[in-house]
Amino acid sequence: MSDLPEHAASAPSLTQDEARARAELLEVGSYEVHLDLARDEQHFDSRTVVRLTSRGGRTFLDCKPRELRSVTLDGAALDVGLLERGRLPLDLPAGEHELVVEALMAFRHDGEGLHRSTDPADGRDYVYGMSFMDAAPSVFACFDQPDLKAPYTLHVRAPESWTVVGNGAATQVAPGEWELATTPPLSTYFVTLVAGPYHVLREEHDGIPLGFSARASLAGQLERDLPELLALTRSCFDEMHRLFGIRYPFGDYHQAFVPEFNAGAMENPGCVTFRDDLVPAGRLTRGDAILRATTIAHEMAHQWFGNIVTPRWWDDLWLNESFAEYLGNRVAAEVTDYDDAWVHTAYSRRQWGLVADARPTTHPVAGNGAPDALSALQSFDGISYTKGSTVLKQLATRLGDEVFFGGVVDHLERHRFGNATMHDLLASWERAGAVDLGDFVDGWLLRAGPDVLSHERGTGSLVLTPPAGQESSARRHTFHAATHDGERWSLTPVETEGVGRTPLAVSERPVVLDARHETWVVAVPDAVTVAGLVHHLADVEDPELRAAAWNNLRSGVHEAAVDPATVVEVAVASPPVEDVSDTGRHTLPWLLGHVVPFAPEGSLARLHAAFTTELEDAQAGSERQLAALRAAIRSATDESVLRGWLAPGGLPDGVEPDLALRWRLLERLAALGAVEAGELDQVLAAEPTTAASVAHARASASRPDPAAKEQAWRRFTGEVAASNYELEASGVGLWRGDPEVSRPYVERYLAELPATSSVRSGWVLGVATEAFFPLAQLPHLPDDGAALVQGVEDLLATDEALTPPMRKRVLDLHDECVRRRRLAARYPRG
């Protein structure tokens, strides 16, 4: 069963050449969009009026309907049968024109287009729009490219119990009838609509009307978190206004927490959409709060970088994401209660970017060679976000705020409500006083791949190795190294340039490279350092240094330069439970999924014992206690221990039982084969929330039962419907439990993956490709994974088998298989 609208599955993605030609031909004056969301639960009516000016010539309109009912050009009917693969050809004489398109559109369930979902908690339906990357034409007819901006006016009919918000301020003019204010010029991918029985709260700050909304079943959480959300929003607005000196220009600022959202958030002007797990039902840890704060600041930064001025084409994606990532973290750290935001980022984003940059699919930060929109979607990765943010932070330090923001403001004012390129921004920086930016552009923006930095004990020097195929790094690295003298850690400034050796005599002391995350480099610790961390990581009081030590270890394992057995020793001596969210989301999954399978037998039990000791020693009610408990659950192999915690009153004093913790226990029991499907069903029926439905899907697929694995697989092939979140959870669960039970799906993945592009597209297609990939099977295969690697290579060699989102994920996962096999060969488990 396909979730794709008609004309969408085979629609070609717009190429840069096509976009350039269409932009030279057209100027779009305005869009007027009428949407009837009250028609039925599967479809909505869409009527679009486009006013434009043509220089005369042939082009096409983008539209992906269930049924194209009529198209008129200046009052004359056009042949709707000419619509092919989402494109309607047009022959436009020179002059002004009016296009009117009436279509029947389909609600989607994959987080794109106009997404509709049912809240299992109360059975109510909710809708939101995600027009990003080829999805806008499944909502309204348009010229779908970032540099054909125009004002939008929306008219919406919805069920009378629904509330409607969008890019422009919404006014209810009659029961079920809503008019939205005309917006400033927007790119098509920013157009959104949030409609349903949402719980809406309204406030104001500095003349800006503020709104917050979430599903009715999350009303309590939204009310609980409103003071925090308001404080963050107000502080961030004040700081953005101070930094830019340009007022927020999009009227209302609504922040909607919506269900089943693919990304973390989307910066739609006037109506930002967020994943609604940012208003969690359970305990909000500091790590959760930092993630929410940086996300709010990130999306607000986009209102200037991305929304006021938008990249002309996707090869300048960094002009959106790198800036928003840098400013989001900086603003959150400087003007909110979360001055440790950069530490959180070090755990949560650093390895994401470094690993992506070391993959065969790496690309430059800027000028990333996006030939079409679908290819560009693959560049929304750790390079565009984390690497770009890091090098911008370096540049801001180098230039100083006066020059850095002086250039930014010049750029925003010159191209206000328009589009621009990297060269436009560089020219603005030069006007502001920046000189000699060539090394920054060539070394950091246009050169792909990370340098690798290691310490050579024999020569007492640092060795800098450029990316494969490059003779020189062409980058200057300025950072601090941390060494331990037997009593304390201390920092030493270091500067390297080019390839070669830089003196750094540390005797036999452990050394943590790039200890403040000041440069962009794969820092690999040597054996002396790793052994020293076993004894001295616990001495680290600086959280940034501790994060750097873990990042050094993670890079070392990724480069097959650090023995997993020694990493286990470090983790046993200094369990990574310093932050409940960063541990649970990043360090712990890496330890259990990447290190333990290649470490000696018994490593999991040793880690579990260490986490249990931390749990017993932690202060009741502390985040460290909760982190230790979560880690102990993930590493437990004794059913009786898990059942003890699951029983009423069985949790340690200070830990509040909640639904999320109950499902963590059930998921682990499921992977151990210690829970039946009926028990999982009963728990879900008792509290049928969205989060519980996702956890149920993951737990069900984790059970080492052939029927459970087959059910998960049928979700992958599209035979069984699943939300985007449930689909990913099923893929994760498929490979948990006894590897013998899921082994048949290794070959099935290679054989059946290509066909899944007929049942899903875009973001969720890439997510499913990765979630169901049999990476977790690698350590358990009888031939050390050689057949899997060969099968992946054969699949990649079939030119037409994989779409771009699938090909990139499979290429990256092939690289990960090769790296893990190299790690296993170099450090046998013994």
Task: Judge whether 96 counts as a catalytic residue.
Answer: no
Residues comprising the chain, all counted: 830
* CA distance linking residue 381 with residue 362, whole number of Å: 10
Contact 21, 54 (CB under 8 A): no
| Catalytic member of 32, 260, 299, 518 | 299
Contacts of 718 by beta carbon, 8 Å cutoff, 6+ apart: 1, 2, 756, 758, 759, 760
* CA distance linking residue 211 with residue 199, whole number of Å: 10
The helix/strand/coil state of 651 is coil
Contact 34, 100 (CB under 8 A): no
Q: How far is residue 539 from each of residues 160, 233, 512, 614, 800, measured CA to CA in Å?
A: 61, 37, 13, 16, 54
* CA distance linking residue 167 with residue 270, whole number of Å: 5
Contact 298, 322 (CB under 8 A): no
* CA distance linking residue 824 with residue 722, whole number of Å: 36
Phi, psi of 270 (to 5 degrees): 80, -20
Contacts of 189 by beta carbon, 8 Å cutoff, 6+ apart: 131, 132, 133, 135, 136, 144, 146
Measured in whole angstroms, the distance separating CA 360 from the mean position of its chain's CA atoms is 20
CB burial string 302-312: b at 16+ within 10 A, e below: bbbbbbbbbbb
The full 3-state SS of 418-442, as one line of letters, equals: EEECHHHHHHHHHHHCCCCCHHHHH
Contacts of 458 by beta carbon, 8 Å cutoff, 6+ apart: none
**DSSP per-residue codes, 609-644:** HHHHHHHHHSPTT-HHHHHHHHHHHHH---HHHHHH
Instruction: Look up residue 705 and give its two tokens.
Output: 């039962």
Q: What DSSP designation does 743 have?
A: T
Contact 603, 649 (CB under 8 A): no
Q: Would the CA dihedral through 26, 165, 290, 668 be positive or negative?
A: negative
**DSSP per-residue codes, 213-275:** EE-GGGHHHHHHHHHHHHHHHHHHHHHHHHHH-----SS-EEEEEETT-SSSEE--TTEEEEE
Phi, psi of 273 (to 5 degrees): -110, 140
Annotated active-site positions, please? Answer: 299
